Structure 1
Amino acid sequence: MRIIVVENYDEMSKKAALMIASQVMLKPDSVLGLATGDTPSGMYKELINLYGKKEVDFKEVRTFNLDEYYGLDRENSQSYYKYMMTNLFDNININTENINMPDGMAKDVNAFCDLYENKIKTLGGIDMQVLGIGGNGHIGFNEPNVNFEAQTHLVELDEQTIEANSRFFESIEDVPVKAISMGIKTIMNSKKIILLANGLNKADAIERAVKGKINPSIPASILQLHNDVTIIIDKDAASKL
Protein backbone atom coordinates (compact mmCIF):
# COMPACT_ATOMS: atom_id res chain seq x y z
CA MET A 1 0.00 0.00 0.00
CA ARG A 2 1.46 3.31 -1.11
CA ILE A 3 0.23 6.50 0.56
CA ILE A 4 0.71 9.87 -1.13
CA VAL A 5 -0.10 12.90 1.02
CA VAL A 6 -0.71 16.12 -0.92
CA GLU A 7 -1.41 19.70 0.04
CA ASN A 8 -4.97 20.02 -1.18
CA TYR A 9 -7.86 18.71 -3.26
CA ASP A 10 -6.53 20.13 -6.54
CA GLU A 11 -3.19 18.38 -6.16
CA MET A 12 -4.96 15.12 -5.28
CA SER A 13 -7.11 15.42 -8.40
CA LYS A 14 -4.14 16.12 -10.67
CA LYS A 15 -2.09 13.20 -9.36
CA ALA A 16 -5.00 10.80 -9.75
CA ALA A 17 -5.70 12.01 -13.29
CA LEU A 18 -2.06 11.56 -14.27
CA MET A 19 -2.09 7.99 -12.93
CA ILE A 20 -5.16 7.15 -15.01
CA ALA A 21 -3.75 8.89 -18.08
CA SER A 22 -0.50 6.93 -17.69
CA GLN A 23 -2.45 3.68 -17.46
CA VAL A 24 -4.32 4.50 -20.68
CA MET A 25 -1.13 5.54 -22.49
CA LEU A 26 0.53 2.23 -21.57
CA LYS A 27 -2.57 0.18 -22.41
CA PRO A 28 -4.96 2.06 -24.73
CA ASP A 29 -7.73 -0.51 -24.27
CA SER A 30 -7.55 -0.41 -20.46
CA VAL A 31 -10.56 -1.42 -18.41
CA LEU A 32 -11.17 1.33 -15.87
CA GLY A 33 -13.35 1.08 -12.78
CA LEU A 34 -14.82 4.49 -12.03
CA ALA A 35 -16.38 6.16 -9.01
CA THR A 36 -18.79 9.06 -8.53
CA GLY A 37 -19.38 11.79 -5.97
CA ASP A 38 -17.60 14.97 -4.90
CA THR A 39 -14.20 13.32 -4.43
CA PRO A 40 -13.40 12.25 -8.03
CA SER A 41 -15.07 15.18 -9.80
CA GLY A 42 -11.83 17.20 -9.84
CA MET A 43 -9.97 14.21 -11.25
CA TYR A 44 -12.46 14.00 -14.11
CA LYS A 45 -11.95 17.70 -14.88
CA GLU A 46 -8.21 17.08 -15.07
CA LEU A 47 -8.72 14.12 -17.40
CA ILE A 48 -10.88 16.27 -19.67
CA ASN A 49 -8.10 18.87 -19.70
CA LEU A 50 -5.52 16.23 -20.61
CA TYR A 51 -7.78 14.98 -23.38
CA GLY A 52 -8.24 18.53 -24.67
CA LYS A 53 -4.46 18.88 -24.88
CA LYS A 54 -4.34 15.59 -26.84
CA GLU A 55 -2.23 13.99 -24.12
CA VAL A 56 -4.58 11.04 -23.65
CA ASP A 57 -6.93 9.17 -25.98
CA PHE A 58 -9.98 7.30 -24.65
CA LYS A 59 -11.31 5.78 -27.88
CA GLU A 60 -10.37 2.21 -26.92
CA VAL A 61 -10.95 2.47 -23.16
CA ARG A 62 -13.65 0.35 -21.50
CA THR A 63 -15.24 1.44 -18.22
CA PHE A 64 -17.29 -0.06 -15.43
CA ASN A 65 -18.87 2.09 -12.78
CA LEU A 66 -18.79 1.06 -9.15
CA ASP A 67 -22.42 1.61 -8.32
CA GLU A 68 -25.81 3.18 -9.00
CA TYR A 69 -28.84 4.01 -6.89
CA TYR A 70 -31.53 1.38 -7.19
CA GLY A 71 -34.86 2.80 -8.34
CA LEU A 72 -33.47 5.90 -10.09
CA ASP A 73 -33.96 6.24 -13.83
CA ARG A 74 -30.78 7.07 -15.77
CA GLU A 75 -32.18 10.45 -16.75
CA ASN A 76 -32.78 11.43 -13.12
CA SER A 77 -30.51 14.36 -12.32
CA GLN A 78 -29.07 12.48 -9.32
CA SER A 79 -28.36 9.20 -11.09
CA TYR A 80 -24.73 8.20 -11.35
CA TYR A 81 -25.29 7.63 -15.06
CA LYS A 82 -26.12 11.33 -15.40
CA TYR A 83 -23.14 12.24 -13.23
CA MET A 84 -20.70 10.27 -15.39
CA MET A 85 -22.06 11.59 -18.67
CA THR A 86 -21.91 15.19 -17.44
CA ASN A 87 -18.59 15.01 -15.57
CA LEU A 88 -16.61 12.88 -18.01
CA PHE A 89 -18.05 10.87 -20.88
CA ASP A 90 -19.73 13.70 -22.79
CA ASN A 91 -16.39 15.54 -22.83
CA ILE A 92 -14.01 12.87 -24.13
CA ASN A 93 -13.84 10.56 -27.15
CA ILE A 94 -14.86 7.33 -25.43
CA ASN A 95 -16.98 4.92 -27.47
CA THR A 96 -20.39 4.84 -25.76
CA GLU A 97 -20.58 1.09 -26.40
CA ASN A 98 -17.58 0.70 -24.09
CA ILE A 99 -19.33 2.39 -21.14
CA ASN A 100 -20.80 0.02 -18.58
CA MET A 101 -22.88 1.13 -15.58
CA PRO A 102 -25.22 -0.63 -13.19
CA ASP A 103 -28.87 -0.36 -14.22
CA GLY A 104 -30.80 1.14 -11.34
CA MET A 105 -34.08 0.12 -12.98
CA ALA A 106 -33.18 -3.53 -13.60
CA LYS A 107 -36.24 -5.72 -13.10
CA ASP A 108 -34.21 -8.85 -12.33
CA VAL A 109 -31.42 -7.44 -10.19
CA ASN A 110 -29.64 -10.74 -9.56
CA ALA A 111 -29.54 -11.54 -13.27
CA PHE A 112 -28.21 -8.07 -14.06
CA CYS A 113 -25.49 -8.36 -11.39
CA ASP A 114 -24.39 -11.71 -12.84
CA LEU A 115 -24.20 -10.22 -16.33
CA TYR A 116 -22.16 -7.25 -15.02
CA GLU A 117 -19.69 -9.59 -13.32
CA ASN A 118 -19.40 -11.80 -16.38
CA LYS A 119 -18.70 -8.85 -18.67
CA ILE A 120 -15.89 -7.65 -16.39
CA LYS A 121 -14.37 -11.15 -16.46
CA THR A 122 -14.80 -11.47 -20.23
CA LEU A 123 -12.75 -8.29 -20.72
CA GLY A 124 -9.96 -9.64 -18.51
CA GLY A 125 -10.84 -7.82 -15.30
CA ILE A 126 -10.42 -4.22 -14.21
CA ASP A 127 -6.95 -2.78 -14.83
CA MET A 128 -7.33 0.26 -12.59
CA GLN A 129 -10.14 0.88 -10.09
CA VAL A 130 -10.83 4.32 -8.63
CA LEU A 131 -12.37 4.46 -5.16
CA GLY A 132 -13.56 7.07 -2.72
CA ILE A 133 -14.24 6.24 0.91
CA GLY A 134 -17.28 6.98 3.04
CA GLY A 135 -17.09 8.38 6.54
CA ASN A 136 -18.06 4.93 7.79
CA GLY A 137 -15.31 3.26 5.74
CA HIS A 138 -17.45 2.05 2.87
CA ILE A 139 -16.03 1.62 -0.64
CA GLY A 140 -18.47 1.55 -3.51
CA PHE A 141 -21.73 1.11 -1.64
CA ASN A 142 -20.32 -1.76 0.43
CA GLU A 143 -21.47 -0.72 3.88
CA PRO A 144 -20.00 -1.82 7.25
CA ASN A 145 -20.28 -5.54 7.99
CA VAL A 146 -20.46 -6.38 4.30
CA ASN A 147 -19.52 -9.85 3.12
CA PHE A 148 -15.94 -9.61 1.81
CA GLU A 149 -16.73 -12.40 -0.68
CA ALA A 150 -19.63 -10.51 -2.28
CA GLN A 151 -19.54 -9.65 -5.97
CA THR A 152 -21.83 -7.13 -7.72
CA HIS A 153 -25.04 -7.12 -5.69
CA LEU A 154 -28.01 -5.14 -4.37
CA VAL A 155 -27.22 -3.41 -1.07
CA GLU A 156 -29.18 -1.66 1.66
CA LEU A 157 -27.69 1.76 2.31
CA ASP A 158 -26.53 2.65 5.80
CA GLU A 159 -28.27 5.54 7.60
CA GLN A 160 -24.99 7.46 7.69
CA THR A 161 -24.61 7.07 3.93
CA ILE A 162 -28.20 8.18 3.28
CA GLU A 163 -27.69 11.24 5.47
CA ALA A 164 -24.36 12.09 3.77
CA ASN A 165 -25.92 11.82 0.31
CA SER A 166 -29.04 13.79 1.21
CA ARG A 167 -27.19 17.02 0.35
CA PHE A 168 -27.65 16.10 -3.33
CA PHE A 169 -31.44 15.69 -3.00
CA GLU A 170 -34.27 18.05 -2.09
CA SER A 171 -34.90 16.11 1.12
CA ILE A 172 -33.55 13.05 2.90
CA GLU A 173 -36.79 11.24 2.03
CA ASP A 174 -35.83 11.44 -1.64
CA VAL A 175 -32.56 9.55 -1.17
CA PRO A 176 -32.80 5.95 -2.41
CA VAL A 177 -32.31 3.37 0.33
CA LYS A 178 -30.81 0.72 -1.96
CA ALA A 179 -28.10 0.59 -4.60
CA ILE A 180 -26.41 -1.83 -6.97
CA SER A 181 -22.72 -1.99 -6.17
CA MET A 182 -19.64 -3.89 -7.18
CA GLY A 183 -18.79 -6.17 -4.29
CA ILE A 184 -15.59 -6.23 -2.27
CA LYS A 185 -14.40 -9.33 -4.15
CA THR A 186 -14.95 -7.56 -7.49
CA ILE A 187 -12.96 -4.55 -6.29
CA MET A 188 -10.16 -6.69 -4.87
CA ASN A 189 -9.82 -8.54 -8.19
CA SER A 190 -8.78 -5.26 -9.85
CA LYS A 191 -5.13 -5.22 -10.89
CA LYS A 192 -4.51 -1.71 -9.51
CA ILE A 193 -6.54 0.42 -7.10
CA ILE A 194 -6.45 4.17 -6.44
CA LEU A 195 -8.29 5.46 -3.38
CA LEU A 196 -8.91 9.20 -3.05
CA ALA A 197 -9.91 11.13 0.07
CA ASN A 198 -9.83 14.72 1.23
CA GLY A 199 -11.01 16.65 4.25
CA LEU A 200 -11.01 16.19 8.01
CA ASN A 201 -14.31 14.30 7.82
CA LYS A 202 -12.44 11.41 6.15
CA ALA A 203 -9.52 11.28 8.62
CA ASP A 204 -11.07 8.66 10.93
CA ALA A 205 -12.03 6.38 8.06
CA ILE A 206 -8.55 6.65 6.50
CA GLU A 207 -6.85 5.89 9.82
CA ARG A 208 -9.00 2.81 10.42
CA ALA A 209 -8.67 1.61 6.83
CA VAL A 210 -4.88 1.95 6.79
CA LYS A 211 -3.88 1.19 10.39
CA GLY A 212 -6.82 -0.71 11.83
CA LYS A 213 -7.50 -4.42 11.85
CA ILE A 214 -8.93 -5.90 8.69
CA ASN A 215 -12.57 -6.13 9.62
CA PRO A 216 -15.90 -6.00 7.72
CA SER A 217 -16.95 -3.16 10.05
CA ILE A 218 -14.51 -1.00 8.02
CA PRO A 219 -14.89 -2.32 4.47
CA ALA A 220 -11.91 -0.31 3.16
CA SER A 221 -9.58 -2.14 5.58
CA ILE A 222 -9.57 -5.12 3.18
CA LEU A 223 -7.42 -3.01 0.83
CA GLN A 224 -4.48 -3.77 3.13
CA LEU A 225 -4.41 -7.21 1.48
CA HIS A 226 -4.24 -5.92 -2.11
CA ASN A 227 -0.79 -5.89 -3.71
CA ASP A 228 -1.15 -2.64 -5.69
CA VAL A 229 -3.06 0.09 -3.88
CA THR A 230 -2.22 3.80 -4.04
CA ILE A 231 -3.97 6.09 -1.56
CA ILE A 232 -3.89 9.78 -2.49
CA ILE A 233 -5.08 12.02 0.35
CA ASP A 234 -4.76 15.62 1.38
CA LYS A 235 -3.20 16.71 4.68
CA ASP A 236 -6.54 16.90 6.43
CA ALA A 237 -7.54 13.35 5.51
CA ALA A 238 -4.06 12.18 6.55
CA SER A 239 -4.10 14.04 9.87
CA LYS A 240 -4.60 10.89 12.01
CA LEU A 241 -2.00 8.71 10.30
Structure 2
Amino acid sequence: MARNIIIMDSSASMRRIIRTMIQATISDAVVSEVKDSKAAQGLIEGAHYHLVIFSKESSGKKWLEFAQQRLALPEKQRTNFAMFSSTQKQPYCAELIDYGIEEYFTIPCAANDIGQIITRLCPYDTMRHTKRYSVPDTIVNLAQGSNIFLGEVINFSEGGMLFEIDAYSQIQWFLPVMASLEMKLDGATLKVSGLYTVARHLMVVEMNPDYSPKRIRLACRFISVPEESKNQLAQVFTVIEKKEALFVP
Protein backbone atom coordinates (compact mmCIF):
# COMPACT_ATOMS: atom_id res chain seq x y z
CA MET A 1 0.00 0.00 0.00
CA ALA A 2 1.32 3.45 -0.91
CA ARG A 3 2.14 6.04 1.72
CA ASN A 4 0.00 9.08 0.97
CA ILE A 5 1.82 12.27 1.95
CA ILE A 6 0.92 15.95 1.76
CA ILE A 7 3.51 18.73 1.59
CA MET A 8 2.11 22.05 2.80
CA ASP A 9 3.99 25.28 2.11
CA SER A 10 3.30 28.52 0.24
CA SER A 11 6.51 28.14 -1.81
CA ALA A 12 6.16 25.90 -4.86
CA SER A 13 9.94 25.57 -5.15
CA MET A 14 10.24 24.42 -1.52
CA ARG A 15 7.47 21.88 -2.04
CA ARG A 16 9.32 20.51 -5.07
CA ILE A 17 12.58 20.24 -3.10
CA ILE A 18 10.91 18.23 -0.32
CA ARG A 19 8.97 16.10 -2.82
CA THR A 20 12.24 15.21 -4.58
CA MET A 21 13.87 14.21 -1.29
CA ILE A 22 10.88 12.07 -0.32
CA GLN A 23 10.78 10.28 -3.66
CA ALA A 24 14.54 9.67 -3.47
CA THR A 25 14.16 7.68 -0.24
CA ILE A 26 10.57 6.34 -0.04
CA SER A 27 9.74 4.23 -3.09
CA ASP A 28 6.01 3.86 -2.33
CA ALA A 29 5.31 7.53 -1.55
CA VAL A 30 2.40 9.24 -3.31
CA VAL A 31 2.96 12.95 -2.74
CA SER A 32 0.42 15.78 -3.00
CA GLU A 33 1.33 19.46 -2.73
CA VAL A 34 -0.80 22.25 -1.24
CA LYS A 35 -0.02 25.88 -0.51
CA ASP A 36 -2.05 26.40 2.67
CA SER A 37 -3.92 24.72 5.53
CA LYS A 38 -7.34 25.17 3.91
CA ALA A 39 -6.28 23.11 0.90
CA ALA A 40 -4.63 20.50 3.13
CA GLN A 41 -7.77 20.08 5.26
CA GLY A 42 -9.83 19.66 2.10
CA LEU A 43 -7.62 16.79 0.94
CA ILE A 44 -7.54 15.12 4.35
CA GLU A 45 -11.31 15.30 4.78
CA GLY A 46 -11.83 13.84 1.30
CA ALA A 47 -9.44 10.88 1.52
CA HIS A 48 -7.01 9.18 3.87
CA TYR A 49 -3.48 10.59 4.13
CA HIS A 50 -0.81 9.05 6.30
CA LEU A 51 1.35 12.14 6.82
CA VAL A 52 1.37 15.91 6.37
CA ILE A 53 4.75 17.65 6.22
CA PHE A 54 4.09 21.34 6.79
CA SER A 55 6.16 24.49 7.22
CA LYS A 56 6.09 26.63 10.34
CA GLU A 57 5.25 29.63 8.17
CA SER A 58 2.16 27.95 6.68
CA SER A 59 0.69 26.89 10.03
CA GLY A 60 -1.16 28.61 12.83
CA LYS A 61 -3.19 27.81 15.94
CA LYS A 62 -6.23 26.56 13.99
CA TRP A 63 -4.03 24.25 11.94
CA LEU A 64 -2.35 22.85 15.05
CA GLU A 65 -5.76 22.26 16.64
CA PHE A 66 -6.87 20.44 13.48
CA ALA A 67 -3.71 18.31 13.63
CA GLN A 68 -4.38 17.51 17.28
CA GLN A 69 -7.88 16.28 16.38
CA ARG A 70 -6.54 14.07 13.58
CA LEU A 71 -3.86 12.61 15.84
CA ALA A 72 -6.53 11.67 18.40
CA LEU A 73 -8.42 9.47 15.92
CA PRO A 74 -8.14 5.66 15.96
CA GLU A 75 -4.99 4.39 14.27
CA LYS A 76 -6.70 3.39 11.02
CA GLN A 77 -8.12 6.91 10.58
CA ARG A 78 -5.19 8.87 11.96
CA THR A 79 -3.06 11.36 10.04
CA ASN A 80 0.47 12.06 11.28
CA PHE A 81 2.23 15.41 11.13
CA ALA A 82 5.80 16.70 10.89
CA MET A 83 6.93 20.32 10.69
CA PHE A 84 9.91 21.88 8.95
CA SER A 85 11.49 25.32 9.12
CA SER A 86 14.67 27.13 8.17
CA THR A 87 15.34 27.89 11.84
CA GLN A 88 14.96 25.88 15.02
CA LYS A 89 13.15 27.83 17.71
CA GLN A 90 12.80 25.85 20.91
CA PRO A 91 9.65 27.58 22.26
CA TYR A 92 7.73 26.73 19.10
CA CYS A 93 9.03 23.14 19.14
CA ALA A 94 7.68 22.79 22.68
CA GLU A 95 4.31 24.12 21.51
CA LEU A 96 4.22 21.47 18.79
CA ILE A 97 4.63 18.74 21.40
CA ASP A 98 1.68 20.19 23.32
CA TYR A 99 -0.44 19.50 20.23
CA GLY A 100 0.94 15.97 19.86
CA ILE A 101 3.37 16.73 17.00
CA GLU A 102 6.76 15.29 17.88
CA GLU A 103 8.64 15.34 14.57
CA TYR A 104 10.46 18.46 13.44
CA PHE A 105 13.31 19.08 11.01
CA THR A 106 15.19 22.04 9.60
CA ILE A 107 15.88 22.86 5.96
CA PRO A 108 18.40 22.26 4.46
CA CYS A 109 18.73 18.62 5.47
CA ALA A 110 19.67 15.28 3.95
CA ALA A 111 17.03 13.28 2.08
CA ASN A 112 17.65 10.38 4.46
CA ASP A 113 16.61 12.58 7.41
CA ILE A 114 13.14 13.03 5.91
CA GLY A 115 13.04 9.36 4.94
CA GLN A 116 13.70 8.34 8.53
CA ILE A 117 10.89 10.58 9.81
CA ILE A 118 8.44 9.08 7.31
CA THR A 119 9.52 5.55 8.26
CA ARG A 120 8.99 6.30 11.97
CA LEU A 121 5.57 7.89 11.49
CA CYS A 122 4.32 5.57 8.74
CA PRO A 123 5.83 2.11 9.28
CA TYR A 124 4.58 -0.05 6.46
CA ASP A 125 3.26 -2.90 8.60
CA THR A 126 0.90 -0.63 10.57
CA MET A 127 -0.51 1.34 7.68
CA ARG A 128 -4.20 1.35 7.02
CA HIS A 129 -5.53 -1.17 4.54
CA THR A 130 -8.92 0.10 3.40
CA LYS A 131 -11.53 -2.56 2.81
CA ARG A 132 -12.41 -2.95 -0.85
CA TYR A 133 -15.85 -3.90 -2.13
CA SER A 134 -16.80 -5.69 -5.32
CA VAL A 135 -20.28 -5.78 -6.86
CA PRO A 136 -20.74 -7.64 -10.17
CA ASP A 137 -21.59 -5.48 -13.19
CA THR A 138 -20.76 -2.19 -11.44
CA ILE A 139 -20.02 0.50 -14.01
CA VAL A 140 -18.21 3.82 -13.78
CA ASN A 141 -19.04 6.89 -15.84
CA LEU A 142 -16.09 9.21 -16.40
CA ALA A 143 -16.61 12.81 -17.47
CA GLN A 144 -13.76 14.93 -18.79
CA GLY A 145 -14.75 18.14 -20.51
CA SER A 146 -17.67 17.33 -22.82
CA ASN A 147 -16.63 13.68 -23.17
CA ILE A 148 -18.26 10.76 -21.29
CA PHE A 149 -16.60 7.34 -21.03
CA LEU A 150 -17.82 4.04 -19.58
CA GLY A 151 -15.72 1.53 -17.61
CA GLU A 152 -16.19 -1.73 -15.68
CA VAL A 153 -15.41 -1.54 -11.96
CA ILE A 154 -13.35 -4.35 -10.41
CA ASN A 155 -13.46 -3.04 -6.84
CA PHE A 156 -13.85 0.21 -4.94
CA SER A 157 -13.42 1.66 -1.46
CA GLU A 158 -13.98 4.93 0.36
CA GLY A 159 -10.70 6.22 -1.09
CA GLY A 160 -10.61 5.03 -4.69
CA MET A 161 -11.37 2.33 -7.24
CA LEU A 162 -9.91 -0.15 -9.70
CA PHE A 163 -11.57 -0.46 -13.10
CA GLU A 164 -11.01 -1.44 -16.74
CA ILE A 165 -11.85 0.70 -19.73
CA ASP A 166 -11.21 0.84 -23.46
CA ALA A 167 -8.17 2.97 -24.27
CA TYR A 168 -9.99 6.01 -25.60
CA SER A 169 -7.57 8.43 -27.23
CA GLN A 170 -9.72 11.37 -26.09
CA ILE A 171 -9.04 10.80 -22.39
CA GLN A 172 -6.12 12.69 -20.89
CA TRP A 173 -5.16 10.24 -18.15
CA PHE A 174 -2.77 12.64 -16.45
CA LEU A 175 -5.67 15.00 -15.66
CA PRO A 176 -8.44 14.45 -13.05
CA VAL A 177 -11.87 13.23 -14.14
CA MET A 178 -15.31 13.34 -12.55
CA ALA A 179 -16.57 9.82 -11.85
CA SER A 180 -19.88 8.28 -10.83
CA LEU A 181 -20.55 4.66 -9.88
CA GLU A 182 -23.68 2.70 -10.69
CA MET A 183 -24.53 -0.78 -9.38
CA LYS A 184 -27.49 -3.06 -8.67
CA LEU A 185 -28.03 -4.27 -5.10
CA ASP A 186 -31.13 -6.06 -3.80
CA GLY A 187 -32.99 -5.26 -6.99
CA ALA A 188 -32.35 -1.53 -6.72
CA THR A 189 -29.96 0.64 -8.69
CA LEU A 190 -27.61 2.58 -6.42
CA LYS A 191 -25.55 5.50 -7.64
CA VAL A 192 -22.59 7.37 -6.18
CA SER A 193 -21.79 10.59 -8.01
CA GLY A 194 -19.44 13.55 -7.69
CA LEU A 195 -16.22 11.56 -7.20
CA TYR A 196 -13.36 13.78 -8.35
CA THR A 197 -10.77 11.22 -9.35
CA VAL A 198 -7.11 11.04 -10.38
CA ALA A 199 -5.24 8.07 -11.86
CA ARG A 200 -2.43 6.55 -9.79
CA HIS A 201 -1.49 3.40 -11.71
CA LEU A 202 -2.20 2.36 -15.29
CA MET A 203 -1.69 -1.09 -16.83
CA VAL A 204 -2.38 -2.26 -20.38
CA VAL A 205 -4.42 -5.49 -20.23
CA GLU A 206 -5.15 -5.89 -23.95
CA MET A 207 -3.33 -4.65 -27.05
CA ASN A 208 -4.26 -4.04 -30.67
CA PRO A 209 -2.45 -5.92 -33.48
CA ASP A 210 -0.08 -2.94 -33.80
CA TYR A 211 0.71 -3.21 -30.04
CA SER A 212 -1.08 0.02 -29.16
CA PRO A 213 -3.27 -0.16 -26.02
CA LYS A 214 -6.76 -1.53 -26.60
CA ARG A 215 -7.94 -1.90 -23.00
CA ILE A 216 -6.39 -0.62 -19.81
CA ARG A 217 -6.77 -1.15 -16.07
CA LEU A 218 -6.66 1.95 -13.87
CA ALA A 219 -6.18 2.35 -10.14
CA CYS A 220 -7.60 5.72 -9.15
CA ARG A 221 -7.82 7.79 -6.00
CA PHE A 222 -10.73 10.02 -5.01
CA ILE A 223 -9.23 13.45 -4.35
CA SER A 224 -12.52 15.14 -3.54
CA VAL A 225 -15.71 13.53 -2.25
CA PRO A 226 -18.72 15.78 -1.42
CA GLU A 227 -20.66 15.04 1.77
CA GLU A 228 -23.61 13.71 -0.22
CA SER A 229 -21.31 11.29 -2.06
CA LYS A 230 -19.80 10.12 1.24
CA ASN A 231 -23.31 9.33 2.46
CA GLN A 232 -24.05 7.45 -0.77
CA LEU A 233 -20.87 5.38 -0.35
CA ALA A 234 -21.76 4.64 3.28
CA GLN A 235 -25.20 3.45 2.18
CA VAL A 236 -23.66 1.17 -0.45
CA PHE A 237 -21.13 -0.28 2.01
CA THR A 238 -23.90 -0.98 4.54
CA VAL A 239 -25.98 -2.89 1.99
CA ILE A 240 -22.96 -4.91 0.80
CA GLU A 241 -21.88 -5.82 4.33
CA LYS A 242 -25.41 -6.94 5.23
CA LYS A 243 -25.43 -9.21 2.20
CA GLU A 244 -21.98 -10.56 3.10
CA ALA A 245 -23.17 -11.29 6.65
CA LEU A 246 -25.85 -13.63 5.28
CA PHE A 247 -23.12 -15.97 4.04
CA VAL A 248 -21.15 -16.03 7.29
CA PRO A 249 -21.84 -19.30 9.18
TM-score w.r.t. length of structure 1: 0.26
Structure having the higher helix fraction is 1
- Greater Cα radius of gyration, structure 1 or 2: 2
Structure having the higher strand fraction is 2
TM-score w.r.t. length of structure 2: 0.25
Greater relative CO (CA pairs within 8 A, separation 6+): 1
